[in-house]
């Protein structure tokens, strides 16, 4: 099975890192290499540009692709989305120079819109019945209004810094994007792809969770259990050589850890350990 992975740019490192956390070490992954082997002899990595990956998968050059939803939508190919990998989060927005005072999409009728995403943009304006002239660019889209090239842009934003620096304001949201794992639709049930999805899901499930371990006097066990947040009952174990104590282990959401520690301590828990979780396979 061949997995297409962004060869460079901001998606390369987090993608390789996520595969590694899922147990799929990528060997000899350097910028210039086209292919890389992985820990799994049945899985190879193919490096490609983020924008080309949907096409590579649709055409069968790769079986699985990892890239932004903006890219799969722009490619206009038929793909099955298996998993949201929850990084590369950004918004595709329609923006105009602040001084132009444009506040609705309709006001752009007959105007020029520069974008790296002409297909998504065309669909956006068509759905609203607004006729615009689309101008395709391959980068630095934010500069085009000031250069007199366009009246508006459709481009990616995340922190909003680039729009702000260029005195542009958002008129409308076009698409919410994040990195996805996808295949051709006919491979939706493919066993090997399901395995990869399960492995990656296990990393995502574990990411915001911590494993809590503590010793609790037997008589305080019920109180401590009640002080723990959901996620199913904790595991309770005997402490060898001390009949009065039990060990309690539980998985807790990262955001609940601070409060949980204070609560269980108050109920009598001691020797509390908090550890990260590498993977949670369900
Ligand atoms: N500012 C951002 N914040 C979050 N995600 C982003 C941002 N910019 C881009 N992305 C996501 O990353 C993807 C690839 O962007 P990136 O800039 O890494 O690639 P690229 O511009 O194609 O790279 P290059 O032009 O260097 O080959 C985008 O399609 C989008 O999904
Ligand atoms: O809202 P912000 O946090 O400012 O991010 C938005 C910017 O990020 C992307 O550019 P990138 O940094 O990938 O540069 P590129 O144009 O060379 O791809 C995107 O094209 C925007 O220009
Ligand atoms: Mg970019």
Ligand nearest to the CA of 166: 2
Per-chain mean pLDDT for the chain: 95
Segments making up each domain of the chain, as ranges: 2-88+178-205, 90-176, 208-276
Per residue in 230-270, pLDDT tens?
656 799 999 999 999 999 999 999 999 999 999 999 999 99
- What's the Cα-to-Cα distance from 257 to each of 155, 237, 276, rounded to whole Å? 38, 21, 11
Q: Does ligand 2 lie within 6 Å of residue 116's CB atom?
A: no
pLDDT at residue 191, rounded to an integer: 98
Q: What does the pLDDT average to over 119-138?
A: 98
Q: Is the CB of 185 within 6 Å of ligand 2?
A: no
Q: Is the CB of 39 under 6 A from ligand 2?
A: no
pLDDT of residue 153: 98
- Per the DSSP assignment, residues forming a β-bridge with 48 are 6
Domain 2-88+178-205 shares a fold with domain 208-276 = no
pLDDT at 29: 55
Contacts of 233 (CB under 8 A, 6+ apart): 225
- Ligand nearest the Cα of residue 88 is 1
Residue 229: predicted pLDDT:
84
Q: Among the bound ligands, name the one nearest to the CA of residue 14.
A: 1
Report, at the CATH architecture level, how domain 208-276 is classified: 2-Layer Sandwich (3.30)
Residue 174 CA, distance from chain mean position: 18
User: Which bound ligand lies closest to the C-alpha atom of 50?
Assistant: 1
Residue whose Cα lies nearest atom 5 of ligand 1: it is 88
For 214-233, what is each residue's pLDDT tens digit? 999 999 999 999 999 865 67
**How far does the centroid of ligand 2 lie from the alpha carbon of residue 264, in Å?**
45
Q: What separation in Å is there between the alpha carbon of 175 and the centre of ligand 1? A: 14
With a 6 A CB cut-off, is 155 part of the ligand 2 pocket? yes
Q: What is the 6 CA–ligand 3 centroid distance (Å)? A: 12
Measured CA to CA in angstroms, residue 34 lies from 6, 28, 49, 106, 107 at distances of 11, 10, 11, 45, 46
For residue 51, give the ligand 1 atom closest to its CA.
22
Measure the CA dihedral 166/168/174/179, to 10°: 30
Q: Decide yes or no: CATH 3.40.1350.10 for domain 90-176.
A: no
- Give domain 2-88+178-205's CATH number out of 3.40.50.720, 3.40.190.10, 3.30.70.100, 3.40.50.1820: 3.40.190.10
What are the tens digits of pLDDT across the range 21-36? 999 999 975 666 899 9
Residue of 4, 6, 8, 9 to test ligand 1 pocket, by largest number of atoms within 8 Å of CB: 9
Does any ligand 1 atom lie closer than 6 A to the CB of residue 86? no
CB 81 within 8 A of CB 62: no
3-state DSSP call for residue 274? strand
Short-list 201, 203, 207, 156, CA closest to 178: 156
List all residues 6 or more positions away from 21 whose beta carbon is below 8 Å from its beta carbon: 203, 278, 279
Distance CA 217, CA 19 (A): 42
Q: What is the 3-state secondary structure (H, E, C) of 98-159?
A: HHHCCCCCHHHCCCEEEECCHHHHHHHHHHCCCCCEEEECCCCHHHCCCCCCCCEEEEEECC
């Amino acid at each position: 099975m061949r997995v297409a992975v962004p060869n460079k740019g901001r998606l390369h490192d987090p993608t390789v890192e996520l595969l590694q956390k899922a147990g799929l070490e990528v060997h000899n992954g350097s910028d210039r290499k086209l292919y890389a082997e992985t820990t799994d002899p049945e899985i190879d990595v193919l490096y490609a540009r983020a924008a080309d990956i949907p096409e590579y998968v649709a055409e069968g050059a790769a079986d699985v692709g990892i890239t932004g939803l903006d890219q799969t939508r722009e490619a206009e190919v038929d793909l099955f989305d298996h998993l949201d990998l929850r990084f590369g989060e950004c918004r595709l927005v329609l923006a105009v120079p602040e001084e132009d005072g444009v506040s609705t999409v309709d006001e752009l009728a007959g105007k020029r819109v520069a974008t790296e995403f002409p297909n998504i943009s065309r669909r956006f304006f068509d759905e609203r019945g607004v006729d615009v002239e689309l101008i395709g660019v391959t980068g630095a889209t934010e500069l085009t209004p000031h250069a007199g090239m366009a009246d508006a842009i459709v481009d990616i934003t995340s922190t909003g810094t680039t729009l702000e620096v260029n005195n542009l304001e958002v008129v409308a949201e076009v698409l919410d994007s994040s990195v996805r794992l996808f295949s051709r639709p006919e491979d939706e049930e493919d066993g090997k792809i399901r395995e990869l999805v399960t492995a990656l899901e296990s990393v995502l499930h574990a990411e915001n969770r911590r494993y809590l371990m503590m010793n609790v006097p037997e008589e305080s066990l019920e109180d401590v259990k009640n002080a723990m947040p959901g996620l199913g009952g904790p595991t309770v174990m005997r402490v060898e050589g001390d009949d009065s104590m039990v060990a309690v282990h539980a998985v807790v959401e990262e955001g609940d850890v601070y409060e949980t520690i204070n609560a269980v301590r108050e109920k009598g828990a001691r020797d509390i350990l908090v550890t990260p979780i590498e993977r949670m396979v369900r």
